[in-house]
């Protein structure tokens, strides 16, 4: 059974900011994936890499996801950490409010927001307005 992860996107102001940050990060140059380093490797790793995604919370809302393509233990000066390898494609999702939390969490299939279809008119609405409409229950 596929399991997803959810994480706060700290320091990122918008979807566009995330896309630019990923594109301009020198650590990603020459790689066919993006990555994020975290302290702990998911115990349910086999379920995560079996089609799971990392859902990013930006400014209090789940707005995007990236498909997880691998988990790798890496050695650092602080000990062993986990590299979450993700597909470079960033998928927009329906806005879903989320409170702040630390680290990553498992994000069960029943709770995840739907991807926005490529032809969705919602993609043309500014994210802030989309978030407000979501909070009001209008979309």
Tens digit of each residue's pLDDT (9 = 90 or more) over 36-64 = 999 999 999 999 999 999 999 999 999 99
Q: What are the φ and ψ backbone dihedral angles of 37, each rounded to 5 degrees?
A: -100, 130
The model carries a pTM of 0.86
Range of the domain at 28: 4-135
Domain count, the chain: 1
Cite the beta strand spans of 43-139 per DSSP E: 53-58, 61-76, 79-86, 91-97, 104-107
pLDDT at 108: 84
């Amino acid at each position: 059974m596929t399991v997803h992860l959810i994480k706060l996107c700290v320091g990122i102001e918008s979807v566009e900011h995330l896309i630019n940050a990923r594109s301009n990060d020198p650590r990603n140059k020459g790689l066919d994936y993006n990555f994020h380093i975290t302290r702990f490797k998911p115990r349910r790793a086999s379920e995560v890499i079996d089609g799971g995604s990392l859902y990013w919370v930006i400014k209090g809302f789940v707005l995007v996801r990236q498909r997880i393509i691998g988990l790798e233990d890496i050695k650092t000066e602080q000990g062993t950490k986990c590299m979450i390898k993700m597909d470079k494609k960033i998928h927009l999702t329906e806005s879903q409010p989320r409170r702040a939390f630390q680290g990553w969490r498992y994000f069960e299939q029943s709770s995840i927001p739907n991807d926005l279809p490529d032809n969705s008119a919602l993609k043309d609405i500014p994210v802030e307005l989309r978030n407000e409409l979501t909070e009001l229950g209008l979309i």
